[in-house]
Amino acid sequence: MEIELLDETRLRYWTSRLAFPLPAVDELADIARIVRGEVELYRLFEDFHLQTAVRGEWHREWSDLPFAPLVERRFGERASLFYLLAYLAALPYTWLRYKHLGISERIFDDTLQDITVKLIDEYELHGKWRFKLFQWIWLHLDCQLFRLGRLQYILRQFQGLTTAYRRRSQGEQLPKVNYLLLADPTLPLRSDGYALGSGGDHEAESQAGDAWYARFESSAAGWFGNPVSPYGFVLREPVFLSRADWELALQQGDWVLDLHIPRSGAFTVEACRESLHQAFEFFPRIWHDRPFKACFCHTWFFTPQLQRLLSPDSNIVRFQREFYLYPPYPGSLRFLWEFVFGERYPDRATAPRDNRLRKAVLEWLDQGGEIFDLAGMMFHGPDEWGSQPYMSAWDAGADQPRFIG
């Protein structure tokens, strides 16, 4: 079969759409030339193209893409470029799907240029053109992830056994709180209400003796369970939510907008609000049969300790406070470290203190502090973005704790 991106002219057209650096395009053009000239490589490339671009059988696990021995022997340290070229060969199919769905060229370019960002990251780290995050970019090529202004979005079904409830009317219990999460009853918890093992596996053994589980029961009258603070920990005292006063807002299997935060662009309240306005128009128009019930996000920004380490007007803290945090599983330092320090600085001994965030993180760790990540939900719309409704409502309850430990 003819594969469009093996033609150098078409390869240069599509990579220009993605704003690839010219030296990287030259490397890919050389890979394409070799593939065109060698029967076994062409057959392997064609099979991989049929598997991914045509049948949609992508490598979806969060692990490295396995390389065929023939590709590794032929290309050595350039083997990843063979597969990057094969992934890019899906671009014409992706664009056809965009046109069929009525999605603009601007959104296509903005979304797919994330591949360029990841490619340049690898070059800056290793000084060579190579690629790694195949387990991420299939979402772009398969029309599952879209960049709309400042943020990226994936429409997906919510996973996990944490449930969310919306107040129908004001009552005496939990005044001012209009949304409440009840904890996953299968997740072992530390004595302070965070997931057992949070902060690193080395903590789990010492905490095991204090482990406990949330309760959860659903009945015709309502729901009984342990509430989650919007700051992300589970409270020991269970509550009962009457169906007369509360309604189910989110459960496993419901559609959510999964938010992601690309690095480029001003990260302000206004930019995020404008992006959300786009998303709240875009997804109901394109996928009207999949109405989303909430926004979901799992990011290193949701490290609860950051509210202690950074000022309240930090864009990171302000973003975190727009969400209702909860523990999906034991978080760790690794998530934040990967984004704040990266592969170049694998440990504290080599990590620099060259900006406010890095300095604050390292000083906190030096003092024996722990760091781990949480997930978050958001139920308010773009017009209310900036109001920080969940933590603000919780703060208004004088006896409600903000931070544990």
Give CA–CA dist 336/320, Å, rounded. 14
Q: Is 367 exposed, middle or buried (0-12, 13-18, 19+ CB in 10 A)?
A: exposed
In the beta sheet, which residues pair with residue 325? 231, 376
Q: Is 229 exposed, middle or buried (0-12, 13-18, 19+ CB in 10 A)?
A: buried
207's CB contacts (< 8 A; 6+ apart) are 190, 191, 196, 197
106's CB contacts (< 8 A; 6+ apart) are none
Model pLDDT for residues 247-276, shown as the tens digit of each residue: 999 999 999 999 999 988 889 999 999 999
pLDDT at residue 363 is higher than 50: yes
Model pLDDT for residues 24-64, shown as the tens digit of each residue: 999 999 999 999 999 999 999 999 999 999 999 999 999 99
The H or E element containing residue 277 is: helix 269-286
143's CB contacts (< 8 A; 6+ apart) are 94, 97, 98, 101
Confidence of residue 396 (pLDDT cuts 50, 70, 90): confident
Confidence of residue 404 (pLDDT cuts 50, 70, 90): very low
Confidence of residue 382 (pLDDT cuts 50, 70, 90): very high
pLDDT, mean of residues 347-365: 95
Q: What is the pLDDT of residue 398?
A: 47
Confidence of residue 348 (pLDDT cuts 50, 70, 90): very high
pLDDT at residue 403 is higher than 60: no
Look at the block and give the residue holding tokens 């919007």.
230
pLDDT at residue 379 is higher than 60: yes
Q: What is the pLDDT of residue 265?
A: 84
Give CA–CA dist 272/251, Å, rounded. 25
Model pLDDT for residues 172-191, shown as the tens digit of each residue: 555 568 999 999 999 999 99
Strands 239-242, 222-225: parallel, antiparallel or unpaired by DSSP? antiparallel
Q: What is the pLDDT of residue 405?
A: 34
pLDDT at residue 147 is higher than 80: yes
Confidence of residue 200 (pLDDT cuts 50, 70, 90): confident
Q: What is the pLDDT of residue 264?
A: 83
Q: What is the pLDDT of residue 204?
A: 58
Give domain limits for the chain: 4-143, 146-332+372-405
How high is the mean pLDDT of the chain? 94
The H or E element containing residue 137 is: helix 134-141
pLDDT at residue 5 is higher than 80: yes
Give CA–CA dist 30/141, Å, rounded. 23
What percent of the chain clears pLDDT 90, i.e. is strictly above it?
90
